[in-house]
Amino acid sequence: MVGQVQGGLLGLLERSVKRACNHVWFERSEMRDRNLVTKRLQEHIADKKKLPILIFPEGTCINNTSVMMFKKGSFEIGGIIYPVAIKYDPQFGDPFWNSSRYGMVTYLLRMMSSWAIVCDVWYLPPVTNQEGQDAIQFANRVKADIACQGGLVDLIWDGGLKRARVKESFREQQQREYSLLLAAGSHPVTPSS
């Protein structure tokens, strides 16, 4: 897996898991250095003795109805992508972690005390970047395949929007597009004689 180094209980779990298998953990300061992250991931995938990397390219938990925008970094490192679509069945327990509502310990207690966590998992065919396709186009192609397979909505929004305010430029762009839509749909009323 790839992830940020954590402290506390989660950090203890990360260190234990790292002893059992090769994982790529980053300090928060390293996560901001795209070149360093890319280099470490490329070194990992170049070593054929290491297992493939498990990456959740949305970068956040979502509510099991849609697939949010993928971070492009996962699609810049090269190599083969093995897409997996996962859709949870909330019949016995809802695995969605609303981190603004529940802390990690509360969430873990909810999961461990639920009747069962049931999910459908689809392993899609391996894909590689097509010639002339940039990382964003590649990420969007994989995201669309996953959304289609899982019966999920393919969204263009970043999952971080659930915690952060929408950028002013994005809001203005949406307002412009909506006003153009309204203008195209309205016809001037001509007075009848």
Residue 99 vs residue 151, higher pLDDT: 151
45-97 pLDDT per residue, tens: 888 888 887 788 887 667 788 888 888 888 988 888 999 999 888 888 778 77
What per-residue confidence (pLDDT) applies to 193? 47
Cα-based distances in Å from 88 to 43, 82, 150, 165:
33, 19, 10, 28
| C-alpha span between 106 and 97 (Å, rounded) | 10
| C-alpha span between 139 and 158 (Å, rounded) | 13
Residue 151 tokens, joined: 């019966």
Query: Quick one: pLDDT band at residue 159, thresholds 50, 70, 90?
Result: low
16-52 pLDDT per residue, tens: 877 777 777 777 666 566 777 788 888 888 888 888 8
| C-alpha span between 62 and 73 (Å, rounded) | 19
Domain ranges of the chain: 1-54, 55-184
Mean pLDDT of 166-186: 83
101-153 pLDDT per residue, tens: 888 788 888 888 888 888 899 999 999 999 999 999 999 999 999 999 999 98
Structure pTM? 0.70
What per-residue confidence (pLDDT) applies to 143? 94
